[in-house]
Amino acid sequence: MRRLTSENTMNVTPRSGASPVPAACTGGCRFFAKEDAAHQALPSAGPLLRLPRQTTIYERGDAAPFCYKVIEGAVRLSRLLVGGQRQVLEICVPGDAFGIENSDAYSTTAETIGETVLLRCPRVCILHLNDERPELRRAMMDMLSKGLCTAHDHLTMMGHQSAKARVASYLLRFMGDRKSQKGAITIELPVGRQDMADYLGLTIETTCRSLSDLKSAKIIATPNRHQVVVHDPAGLETIATGES
């Protein structure tokens, strides 16, 4: 596993009288912009990070001077449990933000899954914008609310759903607003089976068995390890809600 360089923990407190806004962002805040617009305008330097697969962005307990937003690729947020098992708490995909902490240390470990492009924003910049740009407070609240709703969904899934229902819910998440679309729906999974199992709180054997059950029921097909074709969205939703 690669580790992001020491610049991740450097002091980002601006000099007295200096603006905390990075020079590359003086034309507008990119952290709260729509991801497509942010990506089109990104320079080759500044707050943009291009990281190879399996890079540790930060570890739990590290100083937390930055917040991040995924532009391309995917990032796993995890914790190691007492027994040594890994619990994946979130899979961040394009548009998702992470590393927004209410303390001075990161509460999870963040790692890239494949090649990933991130926006990196100093926390002092976000605090500055919150004071100087009140119109961005709504965007910040929307971002925090999205993360909280995702955490609630994950907690509900872990506490009350069967293995097959968890897998179905996971697939539905990546269908987004295409659930009512007619015909087969192809979704790209950002992670492999082991990361999926760790996120769902299952063994990899149970995860693969649940996928096989969905395939046998003609609800999905799996052309490859990172692609799923949903033939019966309604049936998938029925399983996810436990009505089957």
Q: In sequence order, which residues have a C-beta less than 8 Å from that of residue 162 and are 6 or more positions away?
A: 242
How does pLDDT run across 27-80, given as a tens digit for each residue? 566 777 665 544 454 444 447 899 999 999 999 999 999 999 999 999 999 998
Average predicted confidence (pLDDT) for the chain: 81
Q: Which residue has the tokens 């991740």?
A: 8
Looking from the CA of 143 toward its CB, the CA atoms found within 13 Å total 23
pLDDT at 187: 93
pLDDT at 222: 94
Q: Does domain 161-240 have CATH number 1.10.10.10?
A: yes
| pTM (whole model) above 0.85 | no
DSSP, collapsed to helix, strand or coil, labels residue 56 as strand
Q: What is the DSSP letter of 122?
A: E
Cα–Cα distance measured from residue 225 to residue 195, given in angstroms and rounded to the nearest whole number? 12
8 A C-beta contact, residue 165 and residue 201: no
pLDDT at 91: 93
How does pLDDT run across 117-167, given as a tens digit for each residue? 999 988 887 776 666 666 677 777 777 777 778 777 787 777 778 999 999
pLDDT at 10: 42
Cα–Cα distance measured from residue 98 to residue 106, given in angstroms and rounded to the nearest whole number? 10
pLDDT at 8: 44
Sign of CA dihedral 196, 202, 206, 211: negative
8 A C-beta contact, residue 22 and residue 14: no
How does pLDDT run across 188-212, given as a tens digit for each residue? 998 999 999 999 999 999 999 999 9
pLDDT at 86: 85
Which CA distances in Å does 138 have to 15, 27, 103, 130, 190? 28, 20, 22, 10, 29
Residue 202 φ/ψ region, left for φ over 0, alpha for ψ in the -120 to 50 degree band, beta for the rest? beta
pLDDT bucket at 13, cuts 50 / 70 / 90: very low
pLDDT at 140: 72
Query: Cα 13 to the chain's mean position, in Å?
Result: 27
Q: In sequence order, which residues have a C-beta less than 8 Å from that of residue 38 and are 6 or more positions away?
A: 30, 31, 69, 71, 119
Taking residues 85-97, report their average pLDDT. 89
pLDDT at 125: 78
8 A C-beta contact, residue 229 and residue 185: yes
CATH superfamily of 2-157: Jelly Rolls (2.60.120.10)
User: With 60 as the cut, is the pLDDT of residue 23 above it?
Assistant: no
Q: What percent of the chain has pLDDT over 90?
A: 45
Here the tokens at position 29 are: 């805040």
| Number of Cβ atoms within 10 Å of the Cβ of 211 | 19
- Domain definitions of the chain by residue range: 2-157, 161-240
pLDDT at 155: 78
pLDDT bucket at 82, cuts 50 / 70 / 90: confident
